[in-house]
Chains A and B, each alone.
Chain A
Amino acid sequence: MKNIFTVAAQTFSQCLRMKIAVSCIMLLVIALAAVGFMGQGDGTLAGRIRTCMNYSLGLTGMLLSVVTIFAIVSVVTEDVRQKFVMVLAVKPLARYQYMLGRWLGVVMLNAVLLAIAGLSTYVLLQHLRNLPAVNSADRQAVETEIFTARQELAPVPPDIQMLFDKKIEQLQKEGRYNSILQEFLIQSGDNADQAKLKMQKELEKEILAWIEFVPANGQKLYQFRGLALKDQAVDGNGRVEIAEIKDGLFRINAPTRLISKMFYNGPVQINGIRGRIIRMEQTFFDVVFEPRDMQRSELQNLKKNAEVAIIVEPTIQFRYKVKIAGKSSSASELFRAIAFLDSNKKPNGVLIMGEGPVNTVTTINAPAIGLGEGDFYVVYANVPKPAQSVMSVSAPAIPLIIPMNDVRVLYRVGGFEANFFRALLLILFQLAFLAALGVFCSSFLAFPVASLACFALLGCGLLVNWVSESLSWGKTAGGFDFVNFMGSLVVEILRALMPNLGSTSPAEKLVDGKVLSWVAVGVTFIKVVIVRTFIYLAMGCLIYNKRELAKVQV
């Protein structure tokens, strides 16, 4: 073990002196500065921060991947090419110790470079966070959709098979089943199996379209499972700055950490009484109370500079996207009502009404009153826009489509800092894997071929999902398709060789403020580091052990 650390320390020092690290840091600094100043996103602060975060993490990962491959391949292959290994291999150093030492040294270098890059990115993001937002919704998006760690829940999927069986039953009852099947038989050239398969696919498509369809004046009920909002409330103290008892309004100075967890029209408890937030700034917020609550002594006696206990209740976010069915309208905004029901399907009293954009992913913040643990429901009602005055008329509702893949509920489960740290860990795991891949390739290949092989495999790891999806799109029903078979075979081999680096990339989740749980980090560690890294290291060591290290010109 001591020998491994000795070689690792030497490798670290070698990489530093090869100017790899210095070049990498310089490139990172330039790239981060460029991203920080030039990345504007959609013009909002949230957009700018998302762009910067995405690019800076992407650049860090990409740059360090390149550094890792070049560093590990060059240190191992140069030892053989320049015959340094002739001195090293005659010392009491087992070859596997040498290879593991090289790998560990590069991982150590990566850890240091990643720490520097991570710290720089974090400082840049905090700087951007403190810039003025375009509007209050922008500030809210920054605080509740980016600088947070949210758990995502998908709605319970409908039982397609059951619906399919029902549909078949209905068609048989109506006596239309045989005629429809006949149509598919003609299309499939009298191949009964293929015809049934095609029919099933078509019917499933139809069922899915029906599930996603919301008729005018209709509604959709989404069931969610596994909500865990227990102990998610945040508390602290504040001081009254303005007390307008008559209007039921208070302005309260409070720490930013509390204010950042609030949202507009969201609930907040002051001295145990729930009020509604109507304004939020960096250091204070305005809250209004119902007239009946204002009669209570906890609020009646509040004067300027009085200290109050604040509890910010947990929030859930409902995310969805609507499309207009057919070409019935070109409206860019549609009126809707969204209600939340507890596990007993009883409304929790929160009803959000208003206009929302079309063809854009929209996030609605709602107080999670009455929603603690387990199941709950969200109702999306496609209702007509009510008349604004006696002179105007109400706008009729339009049939909609809400894709199931765009319906999600999110809720805060942790802070941004810990999430960011876990994201860096995931990047480090990938780099450790790449270093092992480099060890393997350079155990039997020379520098140019070994680095090329590593980059090719890295590309495969990033694209394996995309290739797989492309193949499934092109797959024809029934029969044997040689191209698809070969394609699938290649994809399966790539899957076995490489972890899906695209899916383990943390930038996407971090930008979306989604939690990278310790469980996910652990699973990635086992899959990428323990299993695949170990396999590549073991293969590299075995090959190197059997290799003649003294190159002889004959």
Chain B
Amino acid sequence: MTATQNVVHIRGLTKIFRDFWLREKVTAVSELNLDIRSREVFGLLGPNGSGKSTTLKMILGLLFPTRGTISVFGKHPTNVNVKANIGFLPEESYLYPFLDARETLDFYGQLFHLPHRQRMRRIDMLLDMVGLSAAAYRRVGEYSKGMQRRIGLAQALINDPELLILDEPTSGLDPIGTKQFKDLIRMLSQRGKTVILSSHLLGDVEDVCDRVSILYGGKLRREGNVEDMLSQKTKTQIITDELTQQDLEKIMQVLDGKSVEISHPKTRLETLFLQIVDEARRQKLKTGGATAGGKLAEFLLGNENDTGSAQGKKLLDELVDDTKSRVLSQEQAQTTAESEENRKQQARRHDMLESLVKKDTAEPNAQQPAAGADETTPQTHDNSSADRDIIDGLLGKDEDSQA
């Protein structure tokens, strides 16, 4: 794959930090080669001091490489035109504390030369999405850490970026926010955006990333597809309804002495937490913090001018078809091996969408998950309200594209 087909192309990247007397102090990144492809969610993993943040900062043009080259969208990272397509959420909120949320988004929106009306509309949508509409006129300096992450995310999305770079995106967020964040990343990926993610929370990375690179001591140790890296091909897991003792005995006979571990699956704590909060919200209990939010900004769905959201399976099917067609066009441009990998990924996304739709159509009250309908495996998705929002968002896009 050439540099122009990759969103980010890094070759022989080395960053050496020196002291005042220009003596070498530490080599933060060493001879790093990396390609981040268009439309993928890429995870950058590694322990503290492994060079993740330094790499991200060099990609953003905030640090300059000692050796090696970086190109972003085929250009130098400091190129102003390149930056018009990038959204960046740093590891902490580095926003002006004296501005309120609206002013913050307005200021950054102006730097992208967005017309006033469009800017105002996007600000409304983003504030709604991150659940800060009620705190829109409070100074960012007065926000809690989680609220600051939310407004940070909103500023990163104000320009509807093609490349979203997220440094520790879920740190400081509550489980609801984390869930929404992950949903957002998946949705943006489906829309063809490229996401680079750096995180210590491996569960989050596992949930959303297509590919990961693991750095240690500034060097690349391993890189690959998440599915391939994590799946244990030599073992099999079956999940079914509750089995009687007789059933178990039959199974043991069938397995004929092979090692078996039998237990009741547990609900994930995240799922349980989301259920409780969802219950509280239905009861309209008061809170001074961030509200539910979660409704995706229409412009991120490519639906800038229509603020209403449509529903209907037909529309969603068309979206799925659209996804398919994009997958096909991508296939034609890639090598056979890569196409196979992408096909798998897209098929998984397709399955996920279809399963969501089935839930949506089968359960009219999908926002209120029925008792006992909990998900039990880490690989599948729960049916919380946030999923419902994703569907709404996706439907909104569909309606618009049809219009």
Which residue of A83, A92, A552 contacts B80 across the interface (Cβ within 8 Å)?
Answer: A92
Are A90 and B88 touching (Cβ within 8 A)?
A: yes
Are A6 and B88 touching (Cβ within 8 A)?
A: no
Known: A14-B96, A91-B108, A554-B26. A548 touches B63 (CB 8 A): yes
Task: Name the residue among A18, A82, A87 with the largest chain B CB count within 10 angstroms.
Answer: A87
In Å, the complex CA distance between A107 and B103 comes to 22
Are B96 and A550 touching (Cβ within 8 A)?
A: no
Contact flags (1/0) for B103-135 with A, using CB distance below 8 Å? 100011011110000000000000000000000
Are B94 and A86 touching (Cβ within 8 A)?
A: yes
In Å, the complex CA distance between A91 and B109 comes to 9
Are A91 and B111 touching (Cβ within 8 A)?
A: yes
Contact flags (1/0) for B88-102 with A, using CB distance below 8 Å? 101010111011000
B28: Cβ under 8 A from any A Cβ: yes
Are A554 and B98 touching (Cβ within 8 A)?
A: no
Known: A548-B63, A552-B54. A10 touches B90 (CB 8 A): no
Contact flags (1/0) for A523-554 with B, using CB distance below 8 Å? 00000000000000000000000001110101
A171: Cβ under 8 A from any B Cβ: no
Are A84 and B96 touching (Cβ within 8 A)?
A: yes
B229: Cβ under 8 A from any A Cβ: no
Which residue of A6, A18, A84, A548 contacts B62 across the interface (Cβ within 8 Å)?
Answer: A548
In Å, the complex CA distance between A258 and B199 comes to 80
Contact flags (1/0) for A336-358 with B, using CB distance below 8 Å? 00000000000000000000000
Are A87 and B17 touching (Cβ within 8 A)?
A: no
Chain B residues whose CB sits within 8 angstroms of the CB of A490 once the complex forms: none
A209: Cβ under 8 A from any B Cβ: no
In Å, the complex CA distance between A550 and B108 comes to 19
CB distance from A379 to the nearest CB of B (A): 68
Are B111 and A93 touching (Cβ within 8 A)?
A: yes
In Å, the complex CA distance between A17 and B103 comes to 13
Chain A residues whose CB sits within 8 angstroms of the CB of B96 once the complex forms: 10, 14, 84
CB distance from B206 to the nearest CB of A (A): 27
Mark out the residues of chain A between 319 and 370 whose CB falls within 8 Å of any chain B CB in the assembled complex: none
Chain A residues whose CB sits within 8 angstroms of the CB of B90 once the complex forms: 83, 86-87
Are B64 and A548 touching (Cβ within 8 A)?
A: yes
Known: A548-B62, A548-B64. A87 touches B113 (CB 8 A): no
B86: Cβ under 8 A from any A Cβ: yes
Which residue of A14, A548, A550 contacts B98 across the interface (Cβ within 8 Å)?
Answer: A14
Mark out the residues of chain A between 265 and 316 whose CB falls within 8 Å of any chain B CB in the assembled complex: none
Chain A residues whose CB sits within 8 angstroms of the CB of B111 once the complex forms: 3, 6, 88, 91-93
B83: Cβ under 8 A from any A Cβ: yes
Known: A17-B98, A93-B80, A552-B54. A6 touches B110 (CB 8 A): yes
Known: A87-B95, A91-B112. A552 touches B83 (CB 8 A): no
Interface size grouping (class) on chain A = 20 to 34
Chain B residues whose CB sits within 8 angstroms of the CB of A88 once the complex forms: 111
In Å, the complex CA distance between A14 and B97 comes to 10
CB distance from A205 to the nearest CB of B (A): 55
B61: Cβ under 8 A from any A Cβ: yes
Known: A14-B96, A84-B96, A548-B62. A91 touches B83 (CB 8 A): yes
B84: Cβ under 8 A from any A Cβ: yes
Chain B residues whose CB sits within 8 angstroms of the CB of A549 once the complex forms: 62-63
In this complex, how many residues of chain B approach chain A with their Cβ under 8 Å: the count is 34
Are B83 and A92 touching (Cβ within 8 A)?
A: yes
B349: Cβ under 8 A from any A Cβ: no
Chain B residues whose CB sits within 8 angstroms of the CB of A18 once the complex forms: 98
B377: Cβ under 8 A from any A Cβ: no
Mark out the residues of chain A between 53 and 109 whose CB falls within 8 Å of any chain B CB in the assembled complex: 82-94
CB distance from B380 to the nearest CB of A (A): 36
Which residue of A3, A14, A82, A94 contacts B94 across the interface (Cβ within 8 Å)?
Answer: A82
Closest residue of chain B to A95, judged by CB? B78
In Å, the complex CA distance between A83 and B94 comes to 6
Closest residue of chain A to B96, judged by CB? A84
CB distance from B84 to the nearest CB of A (A): 4
Known: A17-B98, A548-B64. A6 touches B107 (CB 8 A): yes
Chain A residues whose CB sits within 8 angstroms of the CB of B80 once the complex forms: 92-94
Are B110 and A552 touching (Cβ within 8 A)?
A: no
A2: Cβ under 8 A from any B Cβ: yes
Known: A2-B113, A17-B98, A554-B28. A87 touches B61 (CB 8 A): no
Closest residue of chain A to B54, judged by CB? A552
Task: Name the residue among A2, A93, A94, A552 with the largest chain B CB count within 10 angstroms.
Answer: A552
Chain B residues whose CB sits within 8 angstroms of the CB of A84 once the complex forms: 94-96
Chain A residues whose CB sits within 8 angstroms of the CB of B267 once the complex forms: none
Are B98 and A552 touching (Cβ within 8 A)?
A: no
Which residue of B62, B92, B112 contacts A92 across the interface (Cβ within 8 Å)?
Answer: B112
- Give chain B's interface residues, CB within 8 Å of chain A: 17, 25-26, 28, 53-54, 57, 60-64, 80-81, 83-84, 86, 88, 90, 92, 94-96, 98-99, 103, 107-108, 110-113, 152, 155
Which 7 A-B residue pairs are closest in the complex by CB-CB distance? Answer: A550-B62, A92-B84, A554-B17, A17-B98, A83-B94, A91-B111, A550-B57
| Cross-chain pairs A/B with CB under 8 angstroms, 14 sampled | A83-B94, A84-B94, A86-B62, A86-B90, A87-B94, A90-B62, A91-B83, A91-B108, A91-B111, A93-B111, A94-B80, A548-B63, A549-B63, A552-B57
Other CB < 8 Å A-B pairs besides A18-B98, A87-B155, A92-B83, 17 of them? A6-B110, A13-B99, A84-B95, A86-B90, A87-B94, A87-B95, A87-B152, A90-B60, A90-B62, A91-B83, A91-B111, A92-B84, A92-B111, A94-B80, A550-B63, A552-B28, A552-B57
